[in-house]
Structure formats: structure tokens, C-alpha cells
Amino acid sequence: MSAATHQEPSFRDSVDMMFTRAASLMDLPPGMEEKIRVANSTYTVRFGVKLRGEIKTFTGYRSVHSEHAEPVKGGIRYSLDVNQNEVEALAALMTYKCALVEVPFGGSKGGLCIDPFEWEEDELERITRRFAYELIKRDLIHPAQNVPAPDMGTGAREMAWIADAYKRIKSDDINARACVTGKPRHLGGIAGRVEATGRGVEYALQEFFRHPEDVAKSGLSGTLDGKRVVVQGLGNVGYHAAKFLEEEDGCKIVGIIERDGAIVSAEGLNVEAVKNHVMENGGVKGFPGAQFTEDGKSILEHDCDILIPAAMESTINLGNAERIKAALIIEAANGPVTAGADEILRKKGCVIIPDMYANAGGVTVSYFEWVKNLSHIRFGRMQRRQQEAANNLLVDEIEALTGKTFSPGKRDKMLQGADELSLVRSGLDDTMRISYQSMAEIWHSRESEGVDLRTAAFLISIQRVAETYKSLGL
Ligand code: NAD
């Protein structure tokens, strides 16, 4: 049965319902709940671009949810499903996400109603530059006020066009590069940004499995090694998450769901090989050695330990929640579980690691990129060789004092100074660990009030935003 027949709330209503559930457990000053919940503003733009011999009109949005911290931050999505409600829900999630992982930004989100696959690269560039111009002239792209990043349907390429459009209009802004994150490395991007959201999903799972009492609540046990995983969406987030879990944590990827259907294999799928197959064939169909089904969504209900929805919102809803078998769901996408489904799954004992934490790796590394752009220097550039020299001295001294030598592999590792990528991964890992621990603490202490990980995440972020508003005198 479809979600619609079950009177599913809209994505935005779903986010609001989850927010309200947490806020009802708090003692907020009068009016504060409403102030935090609503989007401050949403700008709609309709612009024309001359393409294929005619003027094509496009509709785009940039919503600012909360300016309690500035700049505000949030991706730009390219999809035909983009609409005001969706953009506002995503902007709200950005506010809560940034507050939860202590990234000093308010929440924003943008979207362009377009099917990016319908257009050639040069056409997309013209459309993107025109959209960027409309946002730049209203300071809705600005290093100090509003900093977009990639989201569904966009990536480093689009961010490069946006950065260049900004630089052309504001050529005297020395911080121009900080107007957008997720840029290619050679244009001011940072090592590890492309993989960041998927990497964050991996770090989140690693941290979860460091807490056996939490793992037990899901009905699972042990470590990540050997866990059976189903992933929906093999795009930026899903591909990196699945790849790292398979290659570095010993997980078995038993199902991959894409637009054209899904493939399953009890022995486990090679994520890199599936990705190459999707790039060459436009979908998972025909991947050798796996079973294909055109009804991709049915594989959300496949027998597995961990389900990773990494495609879009509302895929786990009132229509299928009861049949989901995964013990643990980690929301790599934004809003993949509706409020109604969340309730059903909680009753079933399924543990959900919520989106505002699970996919915060992207905005965390975007924050590092923004800081790098403002400081105009690559992380590690000053310290790396000095650190290596100090390490060398120490290792030489230990060897001289003990009369023993380290194996060459170990010696090399000990000598290494930190480069940008290792610093970014370290900062991301730290963020994911600390944020999980703060959520888990509230989860454990208030479980009797019905607090789960999602509610705990909301409680922390609402509290942090409320404190800022209180200090500002609002
Ligand atoms: P993407 O466009 O790179 O990938 C999305 C993937 O999902 C594509 O491979 C697409 O083919 C697939 N897909 C689309 N519709 C599908 C369907 N009905 N069934 C199965 N697969 C489908 O997008 P992304 O950047 O990976 O974003 C995915 C989700 O993660 C979104 O919810 C986004 O908001 C969220 N997110 C992304 C980032 C980021 O850094 N990119 C950060 C935080 C959250």
C-alpha cells in the first residue's frame, strides 16, 4: 500500500512533528518553540535562460531557517521534486544539525526545480551561473551570510561555477572563495570533502558499535565486522558510506537500491564494481552475480542488520515501516523516515540513528573548508615538517636508548606529520564521536520519558539555539 493511502504528513510536517515531540519535553520560554521552528524567510526566484532556441524558465529557492548563527549554511539540490516545503524542511534540519555537531552556522537550503540529466554540461553551467547570480545579488550566497554546498544532484562542478560567478560579481572580496563549500581542491576545496558525508556515516556507525549497551538495544551484538547492510542510493553519500563499510569495517553489502531497481547478493556486493556498472549502464540492472528486482523499494524490507537510506526523504513511511527487518537504520539521507514510520519502528525496537547526526559529516567538513578559505592557508602547511622533525628526534632517541629498532613500516608511520586529509578525518571523527556521546547520554538518562536518539538530538540542538536567542535578547 502506498504512503499516500495512509495519509502520510508532508516532509516538512514530519520534521515539525519530530521537533514538537522533543520541544514538548522542554521548558522553553513562551514563544521560543515557535520562533525556533519556523523558517525565517524563503526566497523564490523564476529566471529565464535561452536554451535550445527558446527561453526556458526555471524555479529556484533559497530558504533561511535560522540566523541565530551566521553565515547560514545548507546545500543546493537539483531535482524535479524541489518545492518550497521541501526546501524549508531541509533548511530546518540544517539548523538542528549544525547546532548538534557544534558547527557555528545557522540553517539554510536551496533548490532548483530541474532534472540535471536532461541537460548538457554547458547548458547546466549556464543555468547554474544564472541561478547563482540571482542569489548573489540578494546576498543569499555570501561568505559571511549564506554559504551553499552540494546536495542531491549537485557536486564540486556546480560549486566551482557558483564560486566563479561570485568572484566575477564581487571581485574585490578577498574571502570570495568562502562563498560556497564542496569546491574542487584546486579552487579552494578541502581534502576529504567529497567523501565527507559517507565517511561521517561510517564514523557514526563505528562510534555506535563502541557502545555495546546501545548495540544491544537494537538487538544486534558484536562489531561492524560481518554485519549485513542494505543501501538505498549509490550517489555521493551512499557510495562512500557503503564503500568504506565494505572495505574498512568488514561489512557485507547485501543489497543496493538505485533508481532502476535493486540488486541483492547474500555473499556481499563489491561496491566499487557496482558503482562502475551504474556509471556505464545508468543503473544496477545486469550487474553480474547478483539478483535484480525492478521493485527497488521492496529491498528496503530485505533481511539485513543495518539499513542505510541514502537517496531521498520519506522512503520509509507508513506504507512499509511495519515490514522493515533491519535492526538498525542510519539515516544517511535527510528525512528518509517519516514521523509515522518512526513511531512504528520505535515500537518494533528498531534503533534509528537520526539524519541530523548521521549525515552531518558533509557540513562538518564544509566548515573546515570555510575556515581554510578564510585563513587562506592549507591545514598542516606550517606544522607538518616541523612535526616530522620532532618525531624523528624522538624515535632516534628511543632507538638509541633501547638499542632496538622499530620495523620500517612502524617507523614511517610514527614519523609522519599530519597532512590536510588526515587532519580533516581526525576533526570529523572527533565531531562524530563527541556528538554521539552527547546524544547517547540524554537517550540513556531520559529513556523512561520516551526519548530515543532522534529526540535526544533535537533536545540538544533546540536547547543550543534557544540559549543563543536568549543571550541575544530575543
Ligand atoms: P546524489 O545525487 O549524489 O545521490 C543520490 C543517489 O540516489 C543517486 O545515485 C540516485 O540515482 C539515487 N536515487 C534517486 N532516486 C532514487 C530512488 N527512488 N531509489 C533509489 N535510489 C535513488 O545525492 P547525495 O548528495 O548522495 O544526497 C543523498 C541524500 O543525502 C539526500 O537526502 C541529501 O540531502 C543527503 N545529504 C547529502 C550530503 C552531501 O554532502 N552530498 C550531505 C548531507 C545530506
How much is the pLDDT for 210? 98
Output the CA 235–ligand 1 centroid distance in Å: 5
How much is the pLDDT for 4? 44
Give the residue among 206, 201, 198 at the shortest CA–CA distance from 225.
206
Q: What is the mean pLDDT of residues 283-297?
A: 98
How much is the pLDDT for 6? 61
Residue with cell 560579481: 169
Output the CA 234–ligand 1 centroid distance in Å: 7
Give the residue among 276, 180, 200, 205 at the shortest CA–CA distance from 234.
276
Q: What is the mean pLDDT of residues 371-387?
A: 96
Is 41-187's fold the same as 219-349's?
Answer: yes
Residue 5 has pLDDT above 80, yes or no: no
Tell which one of 159, 275, 301, 312 to mutate to probe ligand 1, the residue whose CB is within 8 A of the most ligand atoms.
Answer: 312
User: How is the chain split into domains, by residue range?
Assistant: 41-187, 219-349
Ligand 1-lining residues (CB < 6 angstroms):
150-153, 197, 232-238, 257-259, 296, 310-312, 332-334, 359, 362
Q: What is the mean pLDDT of residues 150-176?
A: 97
Identity of residue 44: T
pLDDT digits (tens, 9 = 90+) for 203-225: 999 999 999 999 999 999 999 99
Query: Given strand 72-79, what is the order of strands in its sheet?
Result: 41-51, 54-66, 106-113, 72-79, 146-150
Q: What is the mean pLDDT of residues 454-467?
A: 98
Q: Which of 109, 217, 227, 252 is catalytic?
A: 109
Q: How far is CA 54 from CA 4, 46, 212, in A?
A: 37, 16, 61
Which residue has the CA at smallest separation from atom 27 of ligand 1? 152
How much is the pLDDT for 360? 98
In the 3-class helix/strand/coil scheme, how is the chain assigned residue by residue?
A: CCCHHHCCCCHHHHHHHHHHHHHCCCCCCCCHHHHHHCCCEEEEEEEEEEECCEEEEEEEEEEEEECCCCCEEEEEEEECCCCHHHHHHHHHHHHHHHHHCCCCCEEEEEEEECCHHHCCHHHHHHHHHHHHHHHHCCCCCECCCEEEEECCCCCHHHHHHHHHHHHHHCCCCCCHHHHCCCCCHHHCCCCCCCCHHHHHHHHHHHHHCCCHHHHHHHCCCCCCCCCEEEEECCCHHHHHHHHHHHHHHCCEEEEEEECCEEEECCCCCCHHHHHHHHHHHCCCCCCCCCEEECCHHHHHHCCCCEEEECCCCCCECCCCHHHCCCCEEECCCCCCECHHHHHHHHHHCCEEECHHHHCCHHHHHHHHHHHHHHHCCCCCCCCHHHHHHHHHHHHHHHHHHHCCCCCHHHHHHHHCCCCHHHHHHHHHHHHHHHHHHHHHHHHHHCHHHCCCHHHHHHHHHHHHHHHHHHHHCC
Cell of 450: 520516551
Ligand 1 atom closest to residue 335's alpha carbon, by position in its atom list: 32
To 10 degrees, the CA torsion angle through 46, 49, 54, 55?
Answer: 20
Output the CA 231–ligand 1 centroid distance in Å: 11
Output the CA 358–ligand 1 centroid distance in Å: 14
d(CA 183, CA 218): 38
Active-site residue flag, 109? yes
Which residue has the CA at smallest separation from atom 29 of ligand 1? 333
**Architecture category of domain 41-187 in CATH:** 3-Layer(aba) Sandwich (3.40)
Burial annotation 28-48 (CB, 10 A radius, 16+ → b, else e): beeebbebbbebbebbebebe
CB 345 within 8 A of CB 367: no
Q: What is the pTM of this model?
A: 0.95
How much is the pLDDT for 75? 97
pLDDT interval class at 1 (50, 70, 90): very low
Cell of 209: 558499535
CB 373 within 8 A of CB 52: no
Q: How far is CA 258 from CA 100, 248, 273, 300, in A?
A: 30, 23, 14, 11
How much is the pLDDT for 472? 87
Which residue has the CA at smallest separation from atom 31 of ligand 1? 333
Residue with cell 524541489: 82
Ligand 1 atom closest to residue 359's alpha carbon, by position in its atom list: 43
How much is the pLDDT for 473? 82
In a 10 Å sphere around its CB, with 0-12 CB exposed, 13-18 middle and 19+ buried, how is residue 297 labelled?
Answer: middle
pLDDT digits (tens, 9 = 90+) for 304-332: 999 999 999 999 999 999 999 999 999 99
Tell which one of 236, 297, 369, 431 to mutate to probe ligand 1, the residue whose CB is within 8 A of the most ligand atoms.
Answer: 236
d(CA 147, CA 136): 10
Which residue has the CA at smallest separation from atom 8 of ligand 1? 235
Q: How far is CA 332 from CA 252, 363, 393, 443, in A?
A: 18, 13, 44, 20
In a 10 Å sphere around its CB, with 0-12 CB exposed, 13-18 middle and 19+ buried, how is residue 413 labelled?
Answer: exposed
- Omega before 104 within 30 of 0, i.e. cis: no
pLDDT digits (tens, 9 = 90+) for 10-53: 999 999 999 999 999 999 999 999 999 999 999 999 999 999 99
Output the CA 310–ligand 1 centroid distance in Å: 6
Angle at 425 between CA 424 and CA 430, to 5 degrees: 100
d(CA 454, CA 330): 11
d(CA 51, CA 200): 39
Tell which one of 79, 109, 151 to mutate to probe ligand 1, the residue whose CB is within 8 A of the most ligand atoms.
Answer: 151
d(CA 2, CA 4): 5
Q: What is the mean pLDDT of residues 128-141?
A: 98
Output the CA 238–ligand 1 centroid distance in Å: 7
Residue 3 has pLDDT above 90, yes or no: no
d(CA 76, CA 419): 29
CATH topology of domain 219-349: Rossmann fold (3.40.50)
d(CA 314, CA 334): 9
* Terminal alpha carbon distance of the chain: 46
Residue 119 has pLDDT above 60, yes or no: yes
Mean pLDDT value across the chain: 96
CB 135 within 8 A of CB 47: no
